[in-house]
Chain A
Amino acid sequence: MNHQTVIQVKNLTKYYGNRLGIKNLNFEAKAGEIFGFLGPNGAGKTTTIRLMLDLLKPTSGSLELMGLELPQNSLEIRKRTGYLPGDFTAYQHLTVEEFISFISSIRRLAGKPESKLIDLLSFRNNLNHRIKHLSHGNRQKLGIIQTFIHNPELVILDEPTTGLDPIVQEEFYDFLEEYRDQGNTIFFSSHNLPEVEKICHRVAIIREGTLVALETLEHLKKKRYRRLKLILSHPIPELAFEGAELIKSHNLEFEFLIKGDLAPILKKIATLPVRDIVLPEPDLEEVFLYYYRGKDEQ
């Protein structure tokens, strides 16, 4: 294994009884990158993460994190890894300060840890609150703080921005980029395509337990389809664009699927009697349906 490879997953398969979790997963994440792991709910993202943390036992295949094999080096790996679960829950009856002190002790951190994130996430006022009294957003902030409290080399984040307001989200993305610049690796699992596009270098896309793509962001963006919805003010004899496919039409509403450059299409639209124009963000299912349609047809 290359010494720069922080995560190496080889032929990883997990069955829950007869039910497939993930099948023959292969990918690598390098040191100093934010690696996106994208897939709809139930695709196998959390299963993969739990296998990386030795919470689940693989049916077959192997995992190496930071050059250490699982499960033999499970403790050492978890010592050097920070993890934010998808649905972060901590001990409800503890105060935030007690919880931080609990994990500091478990992680054998010397002294009282002072995370930069407490101020970045405007969390200082919550330190004396009981966890059960925190709002969903504040609980998620606590989850983020505990993930980074020991400055881990590898950070595994499962849907980290759930419940965070947009301003805090942006600050968190900046923090992640700064953290990555220090040479750390971030494994960023999400079902939110724009979020992954914003901060990740490379993206693995998983669907129904199988890896369907492993791309750099530039490549992903080039190949990606977009939807365009046009509402005309009055009917015209013919409506078509080069490089766009009409997928839906109803009265004066038309929906196109566009691959490639938008500019010539927008130029043509400017000449039409348009009442409204919408460019919705594609959801993941659309990415799977359309982005890989060409591949399936081949």
Chain B
Amino acid sequence: MNSNLTYPLYILKVHRGLIIFSMVLVAFFQFLIIWLMSSINYVPIMEAILNQLPPQMKIIFNQEFMNRLSIDGAAAFGFNHPIVLMVLGIVAIILPTRHIAGEIEAGTLELLLSYPVSRSRLNISLALSSATILIAIIVAGWIGSFSALIIFNHFSMEMFGQLIKIGLILWILLCLITNYSLLISVYGREAGKSGLRSAGITLIFYFLNFIATLWESLEFTQVINPFHYYQPQKLMFGEQSFILDAVVLLSATIFFFIIAYLHFSRRDIP
């Protein structure tokens, strides 16, 4: 076996249960959401309910919300559902946390680095393995979406292209989460603490993005919020620039990777 693949294959082996679970869950969720939207016509029902609400409440349920009730919106919404984001976020955080801070804590990183393995090779292997695992889960999501769209006769090339773009942006967002978790991990020495910090930051960004869409005073935070650059519904309806979002998220990902890489190359392994 090529020795460069030894560590990435080990990572895959360690996490195979979580990876398969995430792939099945995301694929099933995507399939289910499109299936439900194909079977029941929610729009008149929801419009009737919304008409009963006071005007202040109606603001929350805006046009974007109504768009979700179409097949396109549902397909996009599936990739933005809190359950899907939570599962993918956990995978994105666990990988660097477990293999840097966790292995420092367990003492296995000391052993691994006593072998002829360079720190840069380790860092790059970890980042590439994480990216591969995350894209595999997103591919499972695509398979779930496309199979449902084909089975229920809603498939179009336009929707195919938009879903590919949404999946790719989601992948870059998750790579960004992985890389700031990697940065937190290379400064840490305990998996639990590093993981909690990464999860905390991710949750803050997620909720801040949600609140900032409702509360104008917090709009200024959007520019530094990674979730602001991931708007699947807007992407689906062509209201958001795929290239711009991808460039911003990718630049931040590379930035965090470089800082983590530099610090990890110099740090002491206790």
A interface residues, Cβ below 8 angstroms from B: 16, 50, 53-57, 74-76, 78-79, 81, 83, 85, 87-93, 102-103, 105-108
Contacts and interface: CB of A to CB of B under 8 A. Distances in A.
B113 A105 contact: no
A102 B118 contact: no
Interface residues of B, number: 21
B205 interface: no
B151 to A, nearest CB: 39
B117 A106 contact: yes
Given A87-B107, A103-B115, A107-B115, 8 more contacts: A74-B118, A88-B107, A89-B106, A89-B108, A90-B108, A105-B1, A106-B6, A106-B117
5 contacts: A50-B268, A56-B268, A57-B266, A83-B114, A91-B108
B64 interface: no
A53 B113 contact: yes
A152 to B, nearest CB: 11
Contacts, number: 64
Contacts of A93: 14
A92 B13 CA distance: 13
A102 B106 CA distance: 18
B118 A75 contact: yes
A78 B114 contact: yes
A61 to B, nearest CB: 15
Contacts of B115: 78, 103, 106-107
B3 interface: yes
B116 A55 contact: no
B3 A55 contact: no
A79 to B, nearest CB: 4
B118 to A, nearest CB: 6
Contact of A105 (B3, B106, B111, B268): B3
